[in-house]
């Protein structure tokens, strides 16, 4: 039995002409307007204890286009507007399933500028992509090839806060196949001094991407603060300068994490990590900048979807598991372990441990126990994609 090809997005940068940039900016504004109006209508209906689905909002869009006030919606392609309504429907499905918070309105300044086109609204032939309402193809920088004979099912055009334009092509990628199974497993302990510490004893240095540009970023932010508030040209240029520095930092960080997670997934069948609540951890003002720079949440997300691609298993151990205080040699538990203690000696067996390597070994042991015995082994929780969790019987639960 052969598995279906993996849907994969291939993202490229492109340089639009003035006419194309104007058309896309107009489309972004209309997409945001339709999304916000549909969200307002559904919110009002929700207050009346009524539900409005996608079909109802689609009928509303048709009526809005016929009014004089919103007639400008007819100037852009209707496909991105319909896709915005579908995205809103997906957001409400996630909310009703208790997987996500209530949908929020899109801001003109802070929300992501994007528009999605389906096959009826673009033409892709001989490496040339032409969108609806445009006479010329986009000038795309093909930094890597797409799968041979691949036909995009959707095309998403976006512009980031630094003013860069991107196009994402969603295609079937037959090259992504499960790797041969192996017995290799690894425990991964994340940190700030070192980005990762592996149960093999390897330590991956923390590149500290933000620190390299901290002085330049601080100078650009001071220049922005001195500009008069409003929509003036000088303030827009200063804001764009700050955004470019942030984008350069994020690009370096993402590139490093992609290379690192790809290596870990290809070399190991089972990968065990710690289930950290990064959102709560960044509330610590002393460590917030450092925690944000290492991007633990992004690392975990990349690890999970690549493991799903290649048939690997990712297990997250409960955050309250005392991986640092537990002796990986004899299993004795130390009473206290301040963060300043990096090397410690077990009082029971006399083994000397590196704090982070010891934690990674304990995570691996706990993860392998979960993989063999099921999710009923405490403390841990299973990452989606693995076997279903096995609930504990009342008699097995601790009082």
pTM comes to 0.84
- Report which DSSP code applies to 164: -
pLDDT digits (tens, 9 = 90+) for 246-289: 999 999 999 999 999 999 999 999 999 999 888 888 888 888 99
- Report which DSSP code applies to 75: G
What pLDDT was estimated at residue 373? 66
What pLDDT was estimated at residue 113? 94
- Report which DSSP code applies to 193: S
Q: Which residues are catalytic?
A: 189, 274, 356
- Report which DSSP code applies to 129: E
Distance in angstroms (rounded) separating the CA atoms of residues 375 and 388: 8
- Which CA distances in Å does 248 have to 146, 205, 254? 25, 20, 10
Q: What is the mean pLDDT of residues 122-147?
A: 93
pLDDT digits (tens, 9 = 90+) for 330-341: 888 888 888 888
- Which CA distances in Å does 195 have to 283, 301, 359? 20, 16, 14
pLDDT digits (tens, 9 = 90+) for 40-73: 999 999 899 888 999 999 999 999 999 999 999 9
What pLDDT was estimated at residue 385? 41
pLDDT digits (tens, 9 = 90+) for 223-246: 999 999 888 899 999 999 999 999
- Res. 375 pLDDT band, cuts 50 70 90: low
Pair 178, 277: CB distance under 8 Å: no
The total of other beta-carbon atoms located within 10 Å of residue 362's CB is: 26
């Amino acid at each position: 039995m052969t598995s279906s090809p993996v849907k994969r997005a291939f993202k490229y940068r492109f340089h639009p002409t003035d006419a194309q940039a104007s058309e896309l900016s107009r489309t972004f504004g209309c997409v945001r307007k339709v999304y916000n109006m549909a969200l307002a209508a559904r919110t009002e209906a929700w207050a009346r204890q009524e539900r409005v689905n996608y079909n109802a909002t689609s009928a509303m869009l048709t009526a809005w286009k016929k009014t004089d006030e919103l007639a400008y919606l007819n100037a852009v392609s209707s496909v991105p507007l319909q896709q915005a309504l579908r995205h809103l429907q997906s957001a409400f499905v996630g909310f009703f399933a208790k997987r996500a918070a209530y949908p929020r309105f899109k801001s003109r300044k802070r929300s992501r500028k994007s528009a999605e086109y389906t096959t009826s609204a673009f033409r892709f032939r001989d490496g040339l992509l032409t969108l609806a309402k445009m006479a010329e193809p986009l000038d795309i920088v093909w930094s890597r090839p797409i799968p041979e004979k691949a036909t995009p099912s959707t095309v998403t055009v976006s512009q980031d806060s630094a003013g860069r334009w991107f196009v994402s092509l969603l295609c079937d990628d037959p090259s992504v196949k499960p790797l041969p199974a192996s017995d290799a497993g690894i425990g991964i302990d994340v940190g700030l001094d070192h980005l990762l510490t592996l149960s093999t004893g390897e330590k991956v240095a923390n590149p500290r991407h933000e620190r390299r540009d901290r002085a330049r970023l601080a100078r650009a932010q001071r220049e922005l603060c001195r500009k008069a508030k409003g929509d003036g040209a000088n303030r827009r240029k200063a804001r764009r300068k700050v955004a470019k520095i942030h984008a350069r930092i994020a690009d370096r960080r993402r590139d490093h994490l992609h290379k690192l997670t790809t290596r870990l997934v290809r070399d190991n069948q089972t990968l065990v990590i710690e289930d950290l609540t990064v959102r709560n951890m960044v509330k610590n003002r002393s460590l917030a900048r450092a925690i944000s720079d290492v991007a633990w949440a992004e690392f975990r997300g990349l690890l999970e979807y690549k493991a799903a691609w290649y048939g690997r298993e990712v297990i997250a151990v409960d955050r309250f598991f005392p991986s640092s205080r537990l002796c990986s040699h004899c299993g004795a538990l130390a009473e206290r372990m301040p963060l300043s203690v990096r090397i410690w000696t077990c009082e029971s067996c006399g083994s000397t441990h590196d704090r982070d390597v010891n934690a990674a070994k304990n995570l691996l042991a706990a993860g392998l126990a979960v993989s063999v015995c099921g999710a009923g082994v405490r403390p841990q929780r299973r990452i989606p994609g693995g076997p279903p969790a096995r609930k504990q019987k009342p008699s097995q639960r601790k009082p």
